[in-house]
Amino acid sequence: MFLIVGLGNPEEKYAKTFHNMGFLAAADAAAALGAKFKKKECEASVAEGYSGGEKIVVARPMTYMNASGRAVKQLMAKYKLSERELVVIYDDYDLPKGHVRVRPSGSAGTHNGMRSVIAETGLTGFARVRIGIRPEDPTAPLIDYVLSEVKKEDYDLFAAACKRAAEAALAIARGEEIDLVMTRFNG
């Protein structure tokens, strides 16, 4: 079994913001599995699917970004998962917009949602798939920028990035070696 978590904020007003890239990628992952977000459990909206006979749970925490770790911790306990059975997808201001980067482990960097996941679970050895959102001219304060809506001219770029992020997360969940996933998706 594997858990894919897309970080974001649950209210409709955040749906098209940069900070919801994880939610959008999670929706793409669920769709690829033929699953729908029908269940609410562990402070998250959950979709369940199967690939190669293995169950994959895709979750979007309903706790807001800065408390995402609560839902992740609860889901991991419920399904009795190790950190190697978790992948988290989220936006990353430190990457150029539209870039996807896979890592087998690491720190939270500047991301408050990841800080929450690491603080609540006490884990850092889980895979993460980051979607770059950094603008060419980063002059706006970080919090204002991440909560702003993606511009129409960038929609296709970010839709493609979310789809690639979902594909990377699913490759990891299906047991593909992380180094191969990194080679295929990073760049």
Catalytically active residues, by annotation: 19
Euclidean distance between CA atoms 50 and 65, whole angstroms: 27
120 CB contacts (<8 Å, ≥6 apart)?
69, 70, 72, 73
For the four alpha carbons of 97, 3, 61 and 156, in that order, the dihedral sign comes to positive
- State the helix-helix crossing angle for 178-185 and 155-173, rounded to 10 degrees: 160
